[in-house]
Structure 1
């Protein structure tokens, strides 16, 4: 028995050493691509057409559909990813014979190699046909790479959802600069996906769900929610954070209570679908609770949504992702049928993110409760928006700010951040 155990340990060490060696051999000293995220996201408005297609696919989920994705759209999304996580760079190239994706990921400084370079090639075909995946100097045949990724995803979700996804791609066609996906009816796939999502939570997720359900019921019972005129978000935040304060016993406890309170606010005065991130929290299910009138910030319903949406997204993502989402949405709005780029909206996005960050940090959570509990004044958590440009179509945006990351653009972002940083909830005494 001892000898068998010794051989197993040796075998395990050999496998670990081989895996480590293979990984080290994939590292390279230079990235295979050098792209500018500012240039890529300059075509962000093109993604609106793709979003409309995806919305239509959900509406008509019982029908077979074609979804067209352009090279500009893909690279705009790649640029968004790069702005969310700046160690990442990528580029997509679509040709009639094949489509390729190039990715470089920068690791921390080390003497072996700083970059992982990846290249993948997709072929036009019935179903999904991967020609190859190349990691560093190593080529992996497409069928092996695809089956490995599908198996890994199925294992991670304890399901066959990845296999189902691949099976729902009926055909992949390519022209110059465009990919057309023929997708089989999605209704059953979406149902299965939702069931998997609800079944992958852990104990911490269940605690958050129960606390969010508690706060959501308490918010829905507030007298302010019964009024038929628009009410400031501050009039919801004040009593909700009073409740959170009364239920907190430490910084860690306050962090959890604040997280649940923010999610309940996002579901109630933002959009009920935020409940999908938490679970079954509706107090009178299947009825969805909502206020009789929209919550507002600076007398604007759209600013409330920007603020509370960003706060909720921050709770479930890195700050970089939340910031990139807000910026990318504004870039899409520069199209002729959009509302235009708004630094006011961006200020609401940024302030929502920093609000959630302060409220859920154990070191500042109780301080935020002290400031917000019973406070019905927006000035405690929302910045002054006077003088911030909005409604900028693409030509006007480029005339005044050139592009994102220009000096003019950075100065405007710095002005917004300075106003947010001056808010009371971000100035905890040392």
Structure 2
């Protein structure tokens, strides 16, 4: 009896393994190397399309008219592919339908495989919808794919905007190879993410990322009253982290650091960050604070803190890519950009690094700095980094956004940040 059960169990394990391997090779394929590049005009176009779309959806006159062409779709796909380097997106508009394609390379050294997905959207008797999707070699008919799409929208977008968007999507039409979404006498669609989307970003509480952010905002307010002429971000950051250390006697130091960093971002970058930090604190409760400087510049403070917030809400790679996209957009001088700045990029990366590694900073490390030396401990030297570069100059001098010169400067910024004294300030133990 025991031998029979053992053989049955062994056959079941082998069968499951064979099915898993078969499924793996059905939904994956050899990755296709792409030569696609991103341009400043892509970022500018994508930003304009997204901004205009949100504004048109929310307009109160009741008439919604959105039109997308191939150039706009290409820009959106290029920006999405750049923001997520392991995934490549593409799309094609034609008189009969819209084909969207995505390829995600798996992080495997062997076998080298990628997951390819594609969906074909077409008008039908029931409205504009998915005709079919493919996951590798597996075909998913519309009666399976469309409920999944609706579930995804309802999961990401808060009510009632989710239902409004789905109704508008069903009205899609293809006219002269352009995708039209039109609705007359429609209620304004005010987009907001579903509350559950923010839950994964919680740190010290099940309800908020920074449960005690209000305490630290009040600490900043008191510090500003005591030092009315002080305008250095590093000064307030250092003072607030010392408060966090003293307060950590009754709680976790990482939690207190997180509360303090969120307070800095809310007070000195954008008041609306309070929604992500602690939605129980209302906007009018955030104290008004003067602009702060980092390396003598207001814009570097914003780059630093915005990147720190993106790191806390997402991950390092996403934070860095968003910073890159902002600078690529600035390189589009034709649209009013100030040019690509590696100084701004350094502030982006420094803010990301600060948020990522703050939890590992010990009280002994922090105590080695004062308000004067702390700035040099969190922000690398930038005097020799190029700024104001046009896209043409980037191409000529650095080989473009994927060129060897560009990558070399990125690596130099990373090297300088890794060498910052805040993260390397404790003396190493002597070796006997």
Same fold (TM over 0.5): yes
Partner of 2:130 in structure 1?
130
Partner of 1:253 in structure 2?
252
Partner of 1:53 in structure 2?
52
Partner of 1:28 in structure 2?
28
8 A Cα contact 1:127 1:167, kept in partner = no
Of 272, 284, 295, which aligns to 1:298?
Answer: 295
Q: CA deviation at 1:413?
A: 1.2
Q: Work out whether 1:412 is the aligned partner of 2:413.
A: no
Q: How does 1:5-404 map to 2 (within 5 A)?
A: 20=20, 23-31=23-31, 33-36=32-35, 38-39=37-38, 43-54=42-53, 56-57=55-56, 60=59, 63-109=62-108, 114-124=113-123, 128-151=128-151, 154=154, 162-169=162-169, 171-174=171-174, 178-182=178-182, 187=188, 189-190=190-191, 193=193, 204-206=205-207, 208-223=209-224, 227=228, 231-248=231-248, 253-280=252-279, 282=281, 285=282, 287-335=284-332, 336=334, 337-360=336-359, 363-364=360-361, 366=363, 369-370=366-367, 377-404=374-401
Distance 1:160 1:289 in 2: 29
Distance 2:231 2:183 in 1: 44
Q: Deviations over 1:328-354 (max 9, x none)?
A: 111111221112111111111011101
Select between 101-110 and 91-100 the one with higher mean Cα deviation. 101-110
Report the CA distance shift for 1:149/1:222 in structure 2 as closer, same or farther (over 3 A): same
8 A Cα contact 1:37 1:80, kept in partner = no
8 A Cα contact 2:304 2:351, kept in partner = yes
Report the CA distance shift for 1:42/1:404 in structure 2 as closer, same or farther (over 3 A): farther
Q: Secondary structure at the match of 2:348?
A: helix
Q: CA deviation at 1:316?
A: 1.0
Q: CA deviation at 1:408?
A: 1.1
Q: Deviations over 1:357-376 (max 9, x none)?
A: 1103xx44556644567666
Q: CA deviation at 1:25?
A: 5.0
Report the CA distance shift for 1:279/1:22 in structure 2 as closer, same or farther (over 3 A): farther
Q: Secondary structure at the match of 1:90?
A: strand
Distance 2:371 2:246 in 1: 12
Report the CA distance shift for 1:243/1:120 in structure 2 as closer, same or farther (over 3 A): same
More RCO (CA 8 Å, sep 6+): 1
Select between 340-349 and 111-120 the one with higher mean Cα deviation. 111-120
RMSD after superposition: 3.8
8 A Cα contact 1:209 1:280, kept in partner = no
Q: CA deviation at 1:195?
A: 5.7
Q: Secondary structure at the match of 1:169?
A: helix
8 A Cα contact 2:156 2:197, kept in partner = no
Distance 2:35 2:27 in 1: 22
| Long gaps (5+) in structure 1 | 1-12
Runs ≥4 residues deviating over 6 A: 16-19, 110-113, 155-161, 198-203
Report the CA distance shift for 1:23/1:166 in structure 2 as closer, same or farther (over 3 A): farther
Aligned residues: 412
Q: TM-score, normalising length from structure 1?
A: 0.81
| Long gaps (5+) in structure 2 | 1-12
8 A Cα contact 2:274 2:283, kept in partner = no
Select between 258-267 and 323-332 the one with higher mean Cα deviation. 258-267
Q: TM-score, normalising length from structure 2?
A: 0.80
Q: CA deviation at 1:58?
A: 6.7
8 A Cα contact 2:27 2:138, kept in partner = no
Q: CA deviation at 1:77?
A: 4.0
Partner of 1:4 in structure 2?
none
